[in-house]
Amino acid sequence: MMGERLNGALEAAIERATGRPARIACSAPVGGGCINDARRVELSDGRVYFVKSNSDPLPGMFEREAEGLAALAAVGAIRVPVPVCTGGGDGVTPFIVMEYIETGAHGPCFFEDFGRRFAELHKKSAGERFGFAHDNYLGNTPQENAWCDDWVEFWRERRFGFQLRLGRTRRQFDASLERLLVRLMDRLPEYIGQPDEPACLLHGDLWGGNYLSDSSGRPVLIDPAVYYGRREADLAMTLLFGGFDRRFYAAYQEVWPLADGSEARLDIYKLYHLLNHLNIFGGSYRSGCMAILSRYA
């Protein structure tokens, strides 16, 4: 059960955001990951919302999530739960309120639809710079998004450079791994300097746990770590744990084919997430990092 103070804060925040009276009739826990408490909250007028709360969240975590969801929703290419409001603090458990999406089984063409819509998300969101208006989080890891005009510099400093500094702080990077990573950072222009594609709005953390199927069998994106970057960086994350159904990639390629040489670039982008997992979970991810570093550094 949520406490009375949190209930009252939720009701007030929803009322301010929607302009309609809000009184919570009932709430029930639902699956929402291991970081936050997740609930289906129903109001007395029948409206239903998805609410995540955390008594000790990372600074601005829910605000950054709301920004990411709103940015993805604005493109209109693929469904996301629309954020309603955030709140908490001053003794009230911080929270985010968003659209509640009833889930269902994958439709017969789920992965084809998913791949096409994901490609459209990238294609319709072209920007001029790399980064985002705010830093955010990749899971529990801070993600630096300060704007940059050069993609290689962005990846070197905001992605590999950040993970390198984090690895030094957490003492997860041994000398041989660090030496290879520094060497690869110097060689990035020859690997990711091309193709000269525009920045696109990326989900940023798209693995199998961050999409679902709505009640109509259509794809829905959740839990983003958005920024503007090269689209192959988004696709690389989908490959990290064995990849999605092959129909996803075939449909993506129909809408916006990848340029020649994508295999090496996808490995480089995948390395960022492996380094992050090494920094979070430790040595079991070292071999995956070293395999890529040994191939390209």
Dist CA 60 CA 15 (whole Å): 22
Query: Is the Cβ–Cβ distance between 85 and 14 less than 8 Å?
Result: yes
Residue type at 65 in one-letter notation: E
* Tokens standing for residue 90: 């001053």
Which amino acids are annotated catalytic?
205
* Phi, psi of 73, deg, nearest 5: -65, -35
Checking DSSP bridges between strand 211-213 and strand 37-43, what pairing results, if any?
unpaired
Please state whether beta strands 92-99 and 141-143 pair in parallel, antiparallel, or not at all (unpaired).
unpaired
Cross-strand partners of 38: 52
What is the C-alpha separation between 17 and 12, in angstroms, rounded? 9
- Please give the C-alpha separations between residue 151 and each of 141, 233, 248, in angstroms, as whole numbers: 21, 11, 26
Tell me the sheet residues that pair with 141. Answer: 138
